[in-house]
Structures are given as C-alpha cells and as structure tokens.
Structure 1
Amino acid sequence: MATEHVILLHGLWMRAFAMGLLRRRLIEQGFEVHRFEYMSVAGTPERAIVRLQRKMRELAPGRVHLVGHSLGGMLALLACVDDDLPDGRIVCLGSPLAGSAAARGLIGHWGGDRLLGNARELLEHGFESWDGPREVGMVAGYLPVGLGSVVGALADEHDGSVSVAETRLPGLADHCMVETTHTGLLMSAEVAQQAACFLRDGRFAAASAAAG
C-alpha cells in the first residue's frame, strides 16, 4: 500500500511544535506526518506557499494531504489552487475561510497591522468560494472560550476566536462541528479522528457531520 503523507500547518502566532499531539494521533491512524514551519506574521503567505509546494513535490509519489489550523488552513487552500501537485485532500481546523471578524477587530482598535503582519489581508477578507482541484473538509469548534469575542463581533456559535459561520464556504466537500475551543482543535482526539476519516474517505464520520 502506498504511503499517504500529511503535512501539518500551524496557525497565526504559533510554531510547528504546537501540532505535536495531532501529529502523533495521525501517525497512529497510519499516515506519514510532517510538520511545516513558517513565519505567520513576519513572512509573506507567498513565500510560505512556494516552500509548501516544494515540500509536497518532494514527498511524491503517493498522496500528500494537508491539515491546517486556522491561518494554516487558508494557506493550504492557496497552495493547492494549481493542479500540478501530488493528489490529496485538505482538512481545515477552525480556519476563517470567509474572513475573520476578530482580525478586523484587531485592525480597527488593537494595532492589528503589527499583530497580523503580512497575514492581515488574507485573514481580513478570506475567500469567496473554493473551486480548486482538491476536496476540502472543515472541522469547526463551538466551545465559546477565548479572546476573539473581545476584539471582534463573533456570531452566536464560535470557538472563542472564529465563528462557525466564518468556517463555511461554498465549495467545501464537507463540514463538521466539535465541541472544543480554537486552540483545543489541536488537542482533541475527536478532531484527529474526524480529520483522518476525511483524508481517507472524503467525508467526516456521520455523527459529527450531522452537527455541521
């Protein structure tokens, strides 16, 4: 059986080691898992995307999946607009694909230009839809604990940083919800199981998918 690789992308203000527990759980699910480090504030999305695409090609042949938390999921989509990459799927964890109210709040009142750096435009506006060649699944949290609601007006259901509405985007293959916070998405065993399910089958497990 061919090796299936997974590249993990961390979110804003994080480092690759934050993905350690998720990495271990996906290894237990049978994947070959790699963590991808990038500068989320000082670096540019374009530079990260070039490096990510190079890494994906290095891991070929075989399928190369991407799992991105928050900003990392948005970079995963940008990297896979083209179809000249190894086959695979994308799982986003709490990524504000439709744009982030918390980011817009930071920009308006909290010195967001410095805090968000080169990720500002992507986080502020997000995407209109997804029509790229890969299937994309979203796992959204809905335990409303975090500072996001302090700096931005989040919708009724949110994970403390990103509202569930911000994780929905036309073109997603599937969407599910797990009762956890934004950071907790990286620690949850259920999230890891759902991610593995989507990477294998292109759908989330029915119990949680129904909640989405």
Structure 2
Amino acid sequence: MSNACSKDDCNRVLLLHGIWMTGIEMGWLKHRLTSAGYQVERFRYPSLSRTPVENAQLLNRFIRQRGYDCLHLVAHSLGGLVLLNLFDLFPDQPPGRVVLLGSPVHGSAVARRLARHSWGRRLIGRAGERGLVEGAPPWNGERQLGVIAGTSGRLGIGRLLGGIEGESDGTVMLKETAIPAAADRRLHDTGHMGMLFSTAVAADVAGFLRNGHFPR
C-alpha cells in the first residue's frame, strides 16, 4: 500500500475514540464529516484491557480485512497513540491523511499521576504501555498529519487531580500534543471532550482531510 494520498477525492474516514469511551461520543463529529461528503466509520477497541500496541494490531487487522484503497484516520486522545503505534509497527497503510485531536503523544502527566496509586492504575488499565504513561512512538512523517489541541483548561480531570502546567484542554497539556513533523497544527478554545462537539473543530478536520492543511 502507498503512503501518500493518491486521490484528491478520497472520502473514506475512520474515527478512533479515547480512553473509557466506545465511539458513540464521536457521533456528532461523524455526522458533521458525513455532511461534508465523507463516508465515516468508527473503530471500537478495548482501551483498558489491551495496550496501545495490541489495539494497533487489532486496527491493522480491521483495515486489512476491509481492503480500503484510501483511508483517512481521525483519532481523539488515546486513539491518537494507537495510531502512532499502528504506523510504527505497520507503516504500509492505505494512502490518506491523519488528524489527532487532543492526543498526549508524549504521554500524559495526569496518567502518570494516576499510575502512582493502585486505584489510579485500575483507571488507566493497560493504556500506559507505549501510551499514556510511556508516550507513543515518534511520528514517522511519511504522510500528512494535522494536530488539533484545546486551550480551554477550565474543566477536566487534570484540574481535579492536579499536575497540569501551562496551557491545556483541562486534561492534556498543549506541550504533550506537539509533533514537530506534523504538516499543520491548530489550537481551539475548547476542552478535551468539547472538541468532539465543536463545529469549528469539525470544519478544520474536514478541511485538513480535503487539502492537507487546516483552512486559513
């Protein structure tokens, strides 16, 4: 499979949810992308009982079974770490673009704080390995990737637990989302979950998938 989008009219999109989620919460974003002309599916994975590496293996199997000619990938939070593991382990994916929404690619200070306690380790399950605690593999830079991060840190689990420094979406710090090799980056005044229900974020996702950069 090629690693560069070969069709300007590629309209297949796969959404990946974050930790503790099922994909249902991405329904509004799916609706907005469908309205923009995309055919959208959701990939559901066990965020607690399997590591990001194991979920990347499941995702690779899912993609192979469907035989996509071209596929864009959009992931929220932990889903983005699953994607980085996917491209690290299985780089030969269908051509397409990638968008990460609030993904702590360098690991999460909040998750590391939780991991200090037995009750906290139960909350993050196995998502820490090459994921929320350890950080994901570096982006290989072989296709266009857009990063969206939130800066409205007024609410979120990070505010409850502490450990958040500087700008954040309330759960993930801005610096935790940074990928120097990304094609483009966009900041929104929204919280970690709020970005899934933001009209402006949805428009940016659709624009990046269409053009390889966020609308100016």
Taking structure 1 as the reference length, the TM-score comes to 0.90
Indicate the residue corresponding to 1:209 in structure 2.
none
Q: Which amino acid aligns with 2:30?
A: R
- Answer yes or no: is the 8 Å Cα contact 2:101–2:148 preserved in 1: yes
Indicate the residue corresponding to 1:137 in structure 2.
146
Distance in 2 (CA, whole Å) between partners of 1:174 and 1:163 is 18
Alignment of 1:110-189 (within 5 A): 111-121=119-129, 122-127=131-136, 129-144=138-153, 145-189=155-199
Indicate the residue corresponding to 2:69 in structure 1.
62
Q: Return 5+ residue gaps in structure 2 as ranges.
A: 1-6
Indicate the residue corresponding to 1:23 in structure 2.
30
Q: Return 5+ residue gaps in structure 1 as ranges.
A: 207-212
Deviation at residue 26 of structure 1 after TM alignment = 0.5
- Answer yes or no: is the 8 Å Cα contact 1:159–1:181 preserved in 2: yes
The structure richer in helix per residue is: 1
Deviations 1:133-160 (A, max 9, x none): 2222111011111121332421221111
Indicate the residue corresponding to 2:3 in structure 1.
none
Deviation at residue 3 of structure 1 after TM alignment = 4.7
Q: How many residues align?
A: 206
Distance in 2 (CA, whole Å) between partners of 1:104 and 1:51 is 25
Matched, 1:85 2:93: yes
Distance in 2 (CA, whole Å) between partners of 1:110 and 1:102 is 14
Question: For 2:73, what is the secondary structure of its paired residue?
Answer: strand
Q: Which amino acid aligns with 1:48?
A: N
Indicate the residue corresponding to 1:11 in structure 2.
18
Identity of aligned residues (%): 42
- Answer yes or no: is the 8 Å Cα contact 2:52–2:82 preserved in 1: yes
Q: CA RMSD in A?
A: 1.8
Deviation at residue 48 of structure 1 after TM alignment = 1.9
Question: For 2:15, what is the secondary structure of its paired residue?
Answer: strand
Indicate the residue corresponding to 1:192 in structure 2.
202
Question: For 2:116, what is the secondary structure of its paired residue?
Answer: helix
Go from structure 1 to structure 2 and tell me whether the alpha carbon gap of 1:172 and 1:7 turns closer, same or farther (over 3 Å shift).
Answer: same
Distance in 2 (CA, whole Å) between partners of 1:113 and 1:147 is 15
Distance in 2 (CA, whole Å) between partners of 1:46 and 1:169 is 20
Distance in 1 (CA, whole Å) between partners of 2:77 and 2:137 is 17
- Answer yes or no: is the 8 Å Cα contact 2:51–2:128 preserved in 1: no
